[in-house]
């Protein structure tokens, strides 16, 4: 048996009882503790499986989502992750929206460039997350927080 032969073993029942092509309801997840970071990884993976992404795209989405959630936790003091399921011209997607009320990003262009870091990391996080997703937007205001929206579209 391959991992996709029996999705009910790895996908919550709420995904398996929906009609193919149906619109899933958005899900909101808190991002306040280190345990939330792990729970969010699992939620993103389950959502990607539920949409029907292959293992490579699942890994891209989980990696991008983990980086965005970790940035929100470390730099923004925590926040929320919303998982949404957009449709575009019949194509299904998975959108991750991470919001926080932290200090904001003073220079988005610099933050998106490789090598830029305000911590101990390598500085590939935000730009790397952007490269892993198809659509990527950052809304930020110094002192008012940051919202990052990242969407990956399922290939037909």
Instruction: Write the DSSP assignment of 26-56 as a string of letters.
Output: PEEEEE-SHHHHHHHHHHHHHHHHHHT--HH
Helices 34-51 + 55-75 axis angle, to 10: 150
Nearest to 108 by CA among 129, 93, 122: 129
Q: Report the mean per-residue pLDDT for the chain.
A: 82
Cα–Cα distance, 112 to 36 (Å, whole number) = 25
Q: Is the pTM of this model over 0.85?
A: no
Rounded average pLDDT over 61-77: 93
What is the C-alpha separation between 59 and 13, in angstroms, rounded? 22
**CATH code for residues 26-153:** 3.30.565.10
In angstroms, the CA 149 to CA 129 distance is 11
Where residue 107 falls among pLDDT bands split at 50, 70, 90? confident
Is the pLDDT assigned to residue 17 strictly greater than 60?
A: no
pLDDT tens-place string over residues 114-147: 655 555 443 457 888 999 999 999 999 888 999 9
**Residue boundaries of the structural domains of the chain:** 26-153
Q: Which helix (H) or strand (E) holds 128?
A: helix 125-132
């Amino acid at each position: 048996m391959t991992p996709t032969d029996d999705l009910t073993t790895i996908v919550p029942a709420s995904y398996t009882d929906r009609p193919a092509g149906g619109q899933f309801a958005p899900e909101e997840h808190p991002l306040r503790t280190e345990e939330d970071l792990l729970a969010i990884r699992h939620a993103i993976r389950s959502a990607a499986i539920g949409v029907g992404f292959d293992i490579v795209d699942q890994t891209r989405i989980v990696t991008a989502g983990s980086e965005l959630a970790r940035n929100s936790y470390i730099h923004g003091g925590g926040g929320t992750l919303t998982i949404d399921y957009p449709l575009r011209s019949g194509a299904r997607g998975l959108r991750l929206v991470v919001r926080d009320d932290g200090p904001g990003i003073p220079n988005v262009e610099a933050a998106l460039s490789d090598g830029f870091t305000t911590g101990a990391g390598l500085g590939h996080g935000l730009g790397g997350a952007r490269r892993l997703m198809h659509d990527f937007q950052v809304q930020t205001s110094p002192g008012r927080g940051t919202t990052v929206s990242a969407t990956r579209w399922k290939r037909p």
